[in-house]
């Protein structure tokens, strides 16, 4: 997996605090396939 340091910091903090990540950045979908993070699914309006 290749990503930015900030993206991985966000993933680490979210995992540590057992919370999901709210983002529209498609990179996080790829991260979620390989590391234990959950993403918040916003409903499209």
pLDDT in tens, 4-13: 999 999 999 9
Can you spell out the DSSP letters for 17-32? TT--B----THHHHHH
Model pTM? 0.81
Q: Which residues are bridge partners to 39 per DSSP?
A: 21
Can you give the residue ranges of every domain in the chain? 1-45
Task: Render pLDDT for 12-38 as a digit per residue (tens, 0 to 9).
Answer: 999 999 999 999 899 999 999 999 999
């Amino acid at each position: 997996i290749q990503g930015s340091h900030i993206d991985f910091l966000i993933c680490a903090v979210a995992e540590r605090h057992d919370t999901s990540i709210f983002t529209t950045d498609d990179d996080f979908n790829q991260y979620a396939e390989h590391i234990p993070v959950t993403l918040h699914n916003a409903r499209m309006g």
